Amino acid sequence: MNFFERMAREAGVALNEQQRRAASHIDGPLLLLASPGSGKTTTMLLRIAYLMEVKKVPAARIKAVTFSKASAEDMKARFSKLLPALAAGAPDFSTIHSLAFEIVREHFRRRGISYRIIEGRSGEEDDGRPNKSKILRELYRRANGDYPPDDRMEELTRYIGFVKNKLIPPERLPSVKCDVPKAETIYREYEHYKRTAEDGLLIDFDDMLTEADAALSAEPALLAKYQSRFDYAMTDESQDTSLVQHEIVEKLVRKHGNLWVVADDDQSIYNWRAAEPEYLLGFKEKHPQAVVMLLEQNYRSTSTIVDVANRFIKRNRERYDKNMFTGNPSGDPIAITVLPDYRYQAKYAIEKIVDEGEPGDAAILYRNNSSSILLMNALERAGIPFYMKDGDARFFSHWVVEDVLNFMRLTYNDRRADILEKIHLKFGGYISRKQMEQLLELKEDPDDSVFDRLVKHIPLRDYQGKALAACQQAFRGMQGAPPLAAIRIIRGRLGYDKAIDKSCERMGYRKETLLGILSALEEIAEPLETMEQFAARLKFLEGRMRQSRGAKQDGAVTLSTLHSAKGLEFSRVYIVDLIEGVLPSADDVRKWEKGDAGDMEEAARLFYVGMTRAKRRLELLSYASKEGEPVRLSRFVDDVRRLQPAAPRLAVEEGAKAPPVVRANPNAIRDPARLVVGAKVRHAVFGDGEIILTLGDSMDVRFREETKRLSANICVQMGLLEPMASPE
């Protein structure tokens, strides 16, 4: 029996002819250019097995490089699952960064250069020493007079990474566009700062790549050492590899030329971070003896999904023309659901996931990390476990969240001038900086509210007395109010929304983002009774988010950005927030209208990556309005609708009140009065259990595995519970 037949039996994957040829290609360069789900990663894993088993190549002589930690882990997991017998002696799957770091570390050691890393976990420790973001914030302030808002800071960091990854020499800097004022100056100063710091050379993650590349050029002995470390190098997802990363890999394989590259230009989604898909076009020139192979048969998805995705991606002009096809049977049409309003989306998606069973096989994908907050909140309230690949807890420390909490704090104790100081410019009391300073200098009077003290001791303008009295009233009105009512008062009567408008104009914040944060806070606040519960809920969710980044539990729904879902597959996929302004983003559209289609095409690829993650079912979610404004369905969803004319569309009337109920479980308990201590219930996810405690909306249900605290309301609304079948 040959290797591939044995693998078909043992690993359960019978490679097709093309895949076998690619997997058994041993010497010289190969480029495998293939469609999603065509078995690129599978073929790469089997090639490793082929090298080890048939060619008796020691694992240590094989280098499989990935471009993120997550995909290195995914690859490792897939290898052990596919080839358990080889798992123990598998080669290590590592990121290009860790390889680069190894090279730089050795280079610095040889040259006696002392250095410090200023990014990532070790760089972020608050040990008083500067780290990347502190340095950049400070340099930005020096150049522009004020600290940068978060999105500027992100843009600046992206720009710096872009310049480094594209190996752009200083004289060509002016040709790189960046919306951040004085970006070029800041970049130059940043480079200077890192090279002249007191405690040795400072390096960030991008520097690891450029330094490694430079070290390999500068030190022939180092180059020779690393060149002789591996006989076979391979890279997956190479469409997203940057120039400097290609340079490093190319240098390492220059002697033997055993470079095996897997890519799909249609899934290139990191152009903004300097991916270099053009490298694939030049592969044959660089390696004239290279074998280039195409794989177009998709083994992952139903023919319904494959067919629409294949025709969808042809809207892009800049691509290798490929034709994805499949031998898989057809399946459910791609569902397109347009909800009346954004606020129904999270509940709807989760209701649907539960209704369809096996949440562990489902994934909810989104473009922006901020979409995950409400999904997580709703999942958590429904007691459904979730796994978040790339959770971003920055939401919880955003200044808007801080502001709202400070407003709430002031209602508990309106004598605290220190809290007032944090928000005095953000509501309609017109308190100037100077007045605030004067107030802070007054001796604290334990009985007087800050408002009384202002009126009594500080010279005010004519109109201010009335305004301050109104604010004091509003703060009083918030005392003891449920958090949702409090947030409404903050935004309305206290004038926080107006303050937000102004800071958008002045500081260039994106209003959409800030209003989105406020509405997420309202959604979180909605079922809660007190502001303490609200503050505690935020802390709790933040903790849950950090926690959920670990390993995936069985039965947990996956939440992920579209970017991080690359390479993965799920039985059912829901893509949310599919409106114009998100996917494509307002920026993508603006550039496209000016004739620059690059970003629009990248957005289409991102959507394509999302669609092609689904094996069996794909649902596209959108809505007609958000924050009281009408929004438009994403043009990509329109494309899908055109390509699949028979698509059943759950069109929901605009202005409809309740979220649509999805194929409700007829046995579900819909009457909260039936949820009493002692009731035996069956949960859609956790199975049979007994209610052992009820407390307001919360109830503790003991399931076989563990006891869960669930919200009675949510369980009823979503039909999560049914009476347990009697034993006979």
Residues at the interface with ligand ATP (CB under 6 A):
13-16, 19, 34, 36-42, 264, 267, 299-300, 567, 569
- Output 582-587 pairs: Cβ under 8 A, ≥24 positions apart: 582/367, 582/368, 582/634, 583/367, 583/607, 583/634, 583/636, 584/634, 584/635, 584/636, 585/367
> Are 337 and 348 within 8 A, CB to CB?
yes
What distances in angstroms separate CA 386 from CA 346, 376, 551, 706, one per listed residue? 13, 8, 10, 16
- Shortest distance, position 263 Cβ to ligand ATP, whole Å: 9
Query: Is 36 assigned to a binding site?
Result: yes
By the rule CB under 5 A, 689 interacts with Mg ion: no
Residue 42 or 68: the one with the smaller Cβ distance to ligand ATP is 42
Nearer to ligand ATP, 33 or 518 (CB): 33
Q: Is 41 in the site for Mg ion (CB under 5 A)?
A: yes
Residue 80, classed as helix, strand or coil, is helix
Q: Which is nearer to Mg ion, 67 or 348 (CB)?
A: 67
3-state class of 661 per DSSP?
coil
**Known binder of ligand: residue 508?**
no
Segment interacting with Mg ion, rule: CB under 5 A, options 188-196, 560-568, 596-604, 655-663: 560-568
Smallest gap, in angstroms, from Cβ of residue 41 to Mg ion?
A: 3
- Quote the least distance from Cβ 530 to Mg ion, whole Å: 48
When the beta carbons of 37 and 91 are compared against ligand ATP, the nearer one is 37
Distance CA 34, CA 263 (A): 6
Shortest distance, position 144 Cβ to ligand ATP, whole Å:
42
Nearer to ligand ATP, 316 or 665 (CB): 316
* Number of other residues whose CB lies within 10 A of the CB of residue 400: 20
CB of 75 to Mg ion, least distance (A): 9
Question: Nearest Cα to 365, choosing from 614, 37, 67?
Answer: 614
Q: Which of 37, 39, 567, 584 binds Mg ion (CB under 5 A)?
A: 567
Say if residue 35 carries a ligand binding annotation: yes
| Min separation Cβ 3 and ligand ATP, Å | 14
User: CB within 8 A of 632, min separation 6: which ones?
Assistant: 579, 580, 581
Contact partner, 16, from ligand ATP, Mg ion, none, Cβ < 5-8 Å per class: ligand ATP
Q: Which tokens belong to 295?
A: 């794989």
Query: What's the CA gap between 145 and 415, in Å, rounded?
Result: 33
Minimal CB distance to ligand ATP: which residue?
39
**Binding-site partner at residue 39 among ligand ATP, Mg ion, none, CB < 5 to 8 Å by type:** ligand ATP
- Extract the runs of DSSP E, i.e. beta strands, from 283-427: 291-295, 297-298, 325-326, 335-339, 362-366, 386-388
Residue showing the smallest CB distance to Mg ion in the complex: 41
Residue 145 annotated as lining a ligand binding site: no
Q: Compute CA distances 321 → 159, 244, 328, 363, 470, whole Å.
A: 31, 27, 22, 29, 65
- The yes or no reply on residue 39 touching Mg ion (CB under 5 A) is no
Q: Say which entry of ligand ATP, Mg ion, none residue 38 contacts (CB below 5 to 8 A, set by partner kind).
A: ligand ATP
Tokens of 600: 């629009």
Of the pair 41, 711, the CB lying nearest Mg ion is at 41
Amino acid at 69: K
> Toward ligand ATP, which CB reaches closer, 41 or 302?
41
Taking the complex as a whole, the smallest distance from the CB of residue 354 to ligand ATP amounts, in Å, to 25
H runs (alpha helix) in 228-331: 243-253, 278-281, 283-286, 303-313
Write out the binding residues.
34-41
Write out the binding residues for ATP.
34-41
Q: Which residues bind Mg ion (CB under 5 A)?
A: 40-41, 567
